[in-house]
Amino acid sequence: MKLDAENVNHSIIPVELLHFLQQQNEVRKITVPAGFSVCQSGDVCENLVLVLSGQVKVFRPAETGRSLTLYYVSDNESCILTASCILNNTPFPAFAETVTSVSALSIPPNKVRQWMTTEPLWRDYIFSLLSLRMGDLIELVNALAFQGLDRRLANWLLQQSDNALMMQVTHQQIAEELASSREVISRLLKNFEEQGAVELARGRIKVLNKALLEV
């Protein structure tokens, strides 16, 4: 399942930097299948992956078995948590898993650090990525602190329906996105269906009336 959340497809890497990276002998092009665990909490980050195509989910699991999605890494993006761990020699504090098959550039840690002082394009890219992710995380904290789950679910459905009104997604997958339980998500979706906002089917949700979700 590929989720087109607000924090994907920013494509912030300059073309000149992409060309620079592709010309470096130390940078390898890799392909990773969907559902692959890229990094786990406590791991030492052995490289920084810049996604050329595909999507990686970065999330934090809880002791209750639930998880909270922090952000997605999509086309022409890198994981700022990985970059931070490499620059500060700290272990990875979350989990990263491929949502789709991913084609990417793998950059060794010594180059990640070296280019911060020798390559202005690289330094600007890392700082812009940091700014982008900080904005995403602030929005996430704001939603968790000040919005009810029904409002967060409605907003999530509106975001997903920007590209397609019919979504291939299970209630469990939505629960994992919103750090909730499948039972609670199912109940809220049933309420939305009774209001005429959505139509539910097995593994699918169709948005019928966006205005009702925007209330």
pLDDT of residue 69: 87
Tokens of 29: 């092009």
d(CA 11, CA 1): 20
d(CA 154, CA 9): 21
Ranges of each domain in the chain: 15-145, 147-214
pLDDT of residue 1: 45
Residue positions counted in the chain = 215
Tokens of 102: 């991913």
pLDDT of residue 105: 96
d(CA 153, CA 10): 23
pLDDT of residue 3: 47
Please report which residue ranges of the chain form alpha helices under DSSP H: 15-22, 80-88, 109-118, 120-146, 149-160, 171-178, 182-195, 210-214
pLDDT of residue 134: 87
pLDDT of residue 79: 93
Low-confidence ranges of the chain (pLDDT < 70): 1-11, 64-65, 163
d(CA 171, CA 64): 18
* pTM over cut 0.75: yes
List residues bridging with 107 in a β-sheet.
Answer: 48
DSSP 94: S
Looking at domain 15-145, what is its CATH homologous superfamily? Jelly Rolls (2.60.120.10)
Q: Please, which residues have CB within 8 angstroms of residue 1's CB and are 6 or more apart in sequence?
A: 99, 168, 169, 173
Please state, in angstroms and as integers, the Cα–Cα distance from residue 173 to each residue in 48, 168, 185, 193, following that order: 27, 10, 10, 18
pLDDT of residue 179: 80
**Which DSSP string corresponds to 69-84?**
EEEEE-TTEE-HHHHH
Output the furthest CA–CA distance in the chain (Å, rounded). Answer: 59
Residues 91, 93, 97, 99: what is their CA dihedral angle, to the nearest 10 degrees? Answer: -140
pLDDT of residue 213: 92
- Looking at domain 147-214, does it have CATH number 1.10.10.10? yes
Please report which residue ranges of 7-79 form alpha helices under DSSP H: 15-22
pLDDT of residue 145: 82
Q: In the Cβ-directed half-sphere of 81, how many Cα atoms lie within 13 Å?
A: 24
